Amino acid sequence: MDQIELVPQEKPKKGKNLRYLIILVVLGLAVNFILPRLMDVNEGMQVLRNLTWWLVAAAALSEIFVYLSYGFSLKSVLGILGHKVSVFLSSLIFLSSTSVGTVAAGFVGSTATSISLFGKKGVKPVAATISGLLPSMLSNIPICILGIIGMINLSLNNNLSQSLLIQYSVFIAILLLISFAPFIGLAYPKAAFKVVNWVLWNWNRFRKKPYEPQDTQDRLDSVFNAWRLMGKGNWLGPLLGVSLYYIFEMTTLGLIIYASGYPIKLGVLIAGYALPMIFAKVAFVIPGGIGLIETSMAAMFVSQAVPDGIALASVMGFRLISYWIPLLLGFLTYLILNRPPKNKKA
């Protein structure tokens, strides 16, 4: 099988990065300032006083396994492509690229960062790009399964309106289409290129940006080649990694809620976690799902009879552990991994 070298991604400009960072901080401050005001101060203090701190520590530990799980998925993909990279290093690169991508061109910036960091460890650009694409596409499968389970739980408890059913059914269909689109592309590669090329050409025309069809063809070929390599059970490792990613992250949320003194049921936890995450995945233009996840998750728990104060406090604590702290650690890790090698003295 011929490997196709990808055209290097254009590095985001520093000025744009700064603007994205400012927007991100403002959004974060707004969400974390407004949401707590929806909760009575005395109620919030009561939740904090009743926290079981060893469960909070367990939640933080669970979040570490979230990143190790995704690192395992990256390691599995790279192993299939002939590169040996440790789970720990893969996890650090995922952590770094996610943080950089949040403030610099989203998925494109994240992929470019991943390619750069893996390249410093001897991984070829094609392999690094595929390791960025495949786990992301496969991750739609477990979150959609969790979302379906959540919808069933809402339906059994008469909490699933027709509009909510239609909304999340469309979201799940979109994510599954993204995951399984390569199979259609493998069967009809020319038609797949025409569709993708038409969409990207019009999108870049709207944005008044230059567009090169050959870049699209190269990337599609890389994705199709990667999916061919996933045969004979090779897909199990990457899929297991992204599945554990969501399981551990949901465990983090559950432990935070338990620490707040509320014995949440598994079905309620799955619905309250998975459906807002699906919403955030579809609304990918909002960095990190800021605002969407907090508001929709809190509303979802409140609609399932979780007390307002516990729902809001738990969601804010969960986002602190699962998003804001890793975001800052990711920038620090990026600076460490991206340090130029020390010159050896003769």
Residue 235 structure tokens? 């897909």
pLDDT recorded at residue 273: 96
Pairwise CA distance, residues 271 & 261, whole Å: 19
Q: How far apart, in Å, are the Cα atoms of 231 and each of 64, 72, 79, 181, 224?
A: 30, 19, 14, 16, 12
pLDDT recorded at residue 125: 79
pTM value is 0.80
**b/e for 268-295, b at 16 or more Cβ within 10 A?**
bbbbbbbbbbbbbbbeeeebbbbbbbbb
- Domain membership flag for residue 215: yes
pLDDT recorded at residue 4: 42
HSE-up of residue 217 (Cα within 13 Å, Cβ side): 6
- Domain membership flag for residue 40: no
Residue 13: other Cβ atoms inside 10 A: 11
Pairwise CA distance, residues 101 & 255, whole Å: 28
Query: Who's near 95: CB < 8 A, 6+ residues apart?
Result: 67, 326, 329, 330, 333
Number of domains in the chain: 1
H or E stretch including 281? helix 266-282
**For 289, which DSSP code?**
G
pLDDT recorded at residue 2: 45
- Domain membership flag for residue 342: no
| Regions in the chain scoring below 70 on pLDDT | 1-45, 48, 104-108, 284-285, 287, 341-346
Q: How far apart, in Å, are the Cα atoms of 163 and each of 23, 168, 169, 317?
A: 31, 9, 10, 29
- Domain membership flag for residue 16: no
The helix-helix angle for 53-80 and 236-259 (nearest 10°) equals 170
- How many residues in the chain? 346
**What sign for the dihedral angle of Cα 252, 253, 258, 263?**
negative
Residue 131 structure tokens? 């390791």
pLDDT recorded at residue 104: 66
Maximal C-alpha separation, the chain: 74
Chain centroid, CA 328 distance in Å:
16
pLDDT recorded at residue 91: 95
The answer to whether the CB of 226 falls within 8 A of the CB of 50 is: no
Pairwise CA distance, residues 233 & 264, whole Å: 36
- Domain membership flag for residue 5: no
- Domain membership flag for residue 31: no
- Domain membership flag for residue 4: no
Residue 88 structure tokens? 């720990």
Query: Who's near 26: CB < 8 A, 6+ residues apart?
Result: none
- Domain membership flag for residue 11: no
Residue-number span of the structural domain to which 320 is assigned: 49-337
Share of the chain residues as helix, strand and coil, in percent rounded to the nearest 5: 80, 0, 20
pLDDT recorded at residue 144: 93
